[in-house]
């Protein structure tokens, strides 16, 4: 057998490279194709009981938080999802045949939910939490599918992701999935064996996908399974640690966790930022038994001993600089001694944000403020104004250190430089 001469080998190599380039371009183009399947719209028959179960599971999975806007139709998409790689938009998952999932089969829906693969093999970005949903049983996926296929269809077009090249090439997600998608059961941060704990693990880890926000990630967006639920800052505010010890250090009891998940309000604080939509669209609708199961999973079958909230001691000396800032800025709403005005203004002495290991969320609350909210039980929470334009970096640092040393066991080590960094949006 004769080998090609060096003179002939050059064109052959060039041809192979050209074929590979063409194949890569074709894969990139086809991989980004967002066209509905070429088939008639599907018709899904379901009993009222099945639809009710499907709605319950869709709420437990918090589908609405990403797949609808505040003023948009239910599940019609459009909600912006900020990521370090660009902005994604929740898609239309109503049964509209051209813009939604109306032509999808149950098999295709299950694959999208658990594998991150849309029809035509198009890769979904992992903002769709298939890294958690992969443990959803097929029976539950079919119930969610049946429910969504029976909601009111919306012809709202999907928004294209604002992801820069080359990250916008979905074919690259094939490599990401090979590297980072682990189909083993998700880790547990607590210890337990009871049926309640097992149920809570499914609701919290899988359907609720709490680890997607509360678990640290690597530079390529992959979850660090070894640091499960230990807290992470994805956007502006930190999603705090949900380990049993961290929750106990912030004074969370099973009963308080259940109340917080039901109405977004507990002695430890009020649901804000990205946790508020979770309460609004998801956990407020869960049964008491399921909320108990979630708290059992988060704290474990044997919850750790609570760290008592420090009580401010009477001080007859002249007020410290931080105390003066507090009295001039915060006392009118939060009370002279941080006693608050429940229910809309919980006491600062028990406030989880004050007791967090990191001062980030407390600093951001002072700088940015918090919006007015109406909680599921009807409680109205007034707007907290931001003080970025009224207080200097030194004053914000003094105020933060005063609050942390008075109403938590944290040290007052916040500097003006720390405040300046957050003020600049970092």
341 known member of a binding site: no
Tell which residue, 228, 243, 386, has the closest CA to residue 304: 243
**CA separation for the pair 90, 161 (Å, rounded):** 9
Q: Are 274 and 170 in contact (CB under 8 A)?
A: no
Enclosing H/E stretch for 108: helix 106-115
224 known member of a binding site: no
**CA separation for the pair 377, 395 (Å, rounded):** 36
**CA separation for the pair 133, 259 (Å, rounded):** 26
**CA separation for the pair 67, 159 (Å, rounded):** 12
210 known member of a binding site: yes
Beta partners for residue 265, in sequence order? 270
183 known member of a binding site: no
Q: Are 175 and 121 in contact (CB under 8 A)?
A: no
134 known member of a binding site: no
Q: Are 154 and 76 in contact (CB under 8 A)?
A: yes
Q: Are 196 and 288 in contact (CB under 8 A)?
A: no
**CA separation for the pair 207, 52 (Å, rounded):** 16
63 known member of a binding site: yes
Burial class (CB in 10 A: 0-12, 13-18, 19+), 40: exposed
Rg (C-alpha) for the chain, rounded Å, is: 25
209 known member of a binding site: no
**CA separation for the pair 385, 369 (Å, rounded):** 5
Question: Is the preceding omega at residue 166 within 30 degrees of 0, hence cis?
Answer: yes
Distance of CA 263 to the CA centre of its chain: 18
Binding residues for heme c: 63, 66-67, 210, 213-214, 330, 333-334
Binding residues: 63, 66-67, 210, 213-214, 330, 333-334
């Amino acid at each position: 057998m004769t080998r090609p001469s060096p003179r002939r080998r050059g064109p052959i190599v060039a041809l192979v490279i050209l074929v590979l380039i063409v194949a890569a371009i074709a894969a990139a183009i086809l991989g980004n194709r967002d066209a509905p399947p070429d088939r008639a719209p599907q018709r899904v028959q379901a009993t009222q009981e099945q639809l009710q179960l499907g709605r319950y599971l869709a709420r437990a999975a918090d589908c609405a938080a990403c797949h609808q806007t505040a003023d948009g139709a239910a599940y019609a998409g459009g909600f912006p999802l900020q990521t370090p790689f660009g902005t994604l938009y929740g898609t239309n998952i109503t049964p509209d045949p051209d813009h939604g999932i109306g032509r999808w089969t149950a098999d295709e829906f299950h694959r999208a939910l658990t594998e991150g693969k849309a029809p035509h093999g198009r890769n979904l970005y992992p903002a769709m939490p298939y890294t958690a949903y992969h443990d959803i049983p097929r029976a539950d996926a079919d119930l969610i599918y049946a429910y969504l296929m029976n909601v009111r269809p919306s012809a709202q077009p999907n928004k294209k992701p604002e992801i820069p090249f080359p990250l916008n090439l979905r074919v690259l997600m094939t490599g990401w999935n090979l590297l980072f998608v682990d189909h083993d059961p998700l880790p547990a941060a607590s210890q337990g064996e009871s049926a309640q704990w097992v149920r809570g693990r499914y609701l919290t880890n899988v359907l609720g996908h709490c680890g997607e926000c509360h678990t640290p990630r690597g530079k390529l967006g992959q979850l660090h399974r070894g640091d499960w639920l230990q807290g992470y800052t994805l956007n502006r505010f930190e999603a705090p640690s949900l380990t049993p010890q961290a929750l106990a250090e912030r004074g969370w009891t099973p009963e308080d966790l259940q109340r917080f998940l039901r109405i977004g309000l507990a002695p430890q604080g009020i649901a804000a930022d990205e946790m508020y939509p979770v309460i609004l669209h998801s956990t407020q609708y869960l049964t008491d038994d399921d909320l108990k199961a979630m708290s059992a999973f988060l704290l474990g079958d044997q919850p750790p001993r609570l760290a008592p909230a420090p009580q401010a001691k009477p001080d007859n000396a002249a007020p410290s600089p931080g105390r003066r800032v507090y009295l001039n800025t915060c006392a009118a709403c939060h009370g002279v001694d941080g006693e608050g005005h429940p229910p809309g203004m919980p006491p600062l002495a028990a406030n989880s944000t004050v007791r967090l290991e990191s001062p980030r969320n407390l600093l951001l609350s002072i700088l940015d403020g918090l919006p007015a909210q109406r909680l599921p039980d009807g409680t109205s929470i007034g707007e907290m104004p931001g003080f970025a334009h009224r207080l200097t970096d030194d004053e914000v640092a003094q105020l933060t250190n005063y609050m942390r040393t008075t109403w938590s066991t944290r040290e007052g080590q916040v500097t003006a430089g720390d405040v300046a960094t957050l003020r600049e949006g970092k």
